[in-house]
Amino acid sequence: MPWRYAAGRLTEYAAVLAVALTLNFALPRALPGGPLKLFGSPEALARLTSDERAQIATQYGFGKPLHEQFLDYLGGVFTLDLGTSLSDGRPVTEALGEALPWTLLLVGTSIVGTALVGVTFGVVGALRRRKGKGSGLLGTAIVLDSFPQFWLGMLLIVLFGVQLQLLPTFGVSGVEGVTVSGVLLHLILPVSTMTLTGMGYLFLYTRSSLLTVLTSEPIQHAHARGVPYGRLVRRHALRPALLPVHTILMMEIGFLAAGSIVVETVFAYPGLGRLTFDAITARDYPLMQGAFLVLTLMVVLMNALADATYPLLDPRARTGGHQ
């Protein structure tokens, strides 16, 4: 029954969110150090008495017992009150609201580029594989898939920003402030980094999926009966081959958002990833909890979207695998 399937999936997502909320609370406190570092140099903190440390901790809410802090955190999540950043005194929701659109712009542009390049070359690679070619594309994809994002980002900065001086290397604004043309120019290098490091996996998955369909018995029999190969690919092979790619692509959106921490830090991009990195560095518990929560929700929502849209693309998913 569809409603039973939906109820089961909702239960699974609720369990995932419950675990994620617990980890979002526990991970910041598992890091070495603490938020006291925000209130002075190590030398000044060393001179504080235990009573003074306890007073600061109580004032900012991290001096309570852990179970009380956790209950306060859960209450804040359900009332959309994520607390106040210890770094700059702003509400966490305000800081997240300013950073999230920049990350959505970066991730949205990157996923379009990744999908276009990865899927297109994956299809080309599968068709060339049938002719005994395509090893160059396969080797390039494997190499790109192995590149660390931070390394490729710094390489692009050195090449296009320092040596050739063609593109800006950090931020989103130039001397004239934030403009559309300026933002687009500043997006080129970070988007290129995320696209190049993300397209390899999508290429390999698309290529493998299409090759599996092309070597299946129905396609082979149809081709043996004289159906043109191009027609088979366009009408009968591409759609079933791209169905699992759709799921991977939806998941990739969430993973790109979570992985934007590295790219945004390398390019000093003012998005959620850079905000998360700054919060971790400062041991800003409320800001870390809020940033982790948003990143987790993005991954879960993309998985839910993949589950919701897959039956629209594949009728067999609506009938339990039966036509």
Q: What is the pLDDT of residues 9-62, one digit of tens each?
A: 788 888 888 898 898 888 888 877 666 655 555 555 555 666 666 666 666 667
Across 90-114, average pLDDT: 90
Across 263-274, average pLDDT: 90
Across 96-104, average pLDDT: 91
The whole-angstrom separation of Cα 53 and Cα 64 is 13
Q: What is the pLDDT of residues 6-18, one digit of tens each?
A: 777 788 888 888 8
Least confident of 21-35, 231-245, 275-289: 231-245
Q: What does the pLDDT read at residue 278?
A: 87
Q: What does the pLDDT read at residue 154?
A: 92
> Which among 100, 113, 126 has a CA at the least distance from the CA of 252?
113
Asked if 200 and 141 touch (Cβ cutoff 8 Å), the reply is yes
Return mean pLDDT, the chain.
80
Highest mean predicted confidence (pLDDT) among 140-144, 175-179, 313-317: 140-144
Confidence (pTM): 0.80
The whole-angstrom separation of Cα 282 and Cα 304 is 33
> Which among 57, 53, 84, 56 has a CA at the least distance from the CA of 68?
57
Q: Which helix (H) or strand (E) holds 29?
A: helix 2-30
Q: What does the pLDDT read at residue 1?
A: 46
CA 323 to chain centre: 35
Q: What does the pLDDT read at residue 45?
A: 54
Query: CA 144, 148, 154: angle at the middle one, nearest 5?
Result: 100
Highest mean predicted confidence (pLDDT) among 25-29, 182-186, 190-194, 283-287: 190-194
Asked if 148 and 226 touch (Cβ cutoff 8 Å), the reply is no
Across 64-79, average pLDDT: 85
Distances (CA, A) of 134 to 120, 129, 147: 13, 5, 21
> Which among 179, 170, 197 has a CA at the least distance from the CA of 265?
170
For 309, other C-beta atoms within 10 Å of its C-beta total: 13
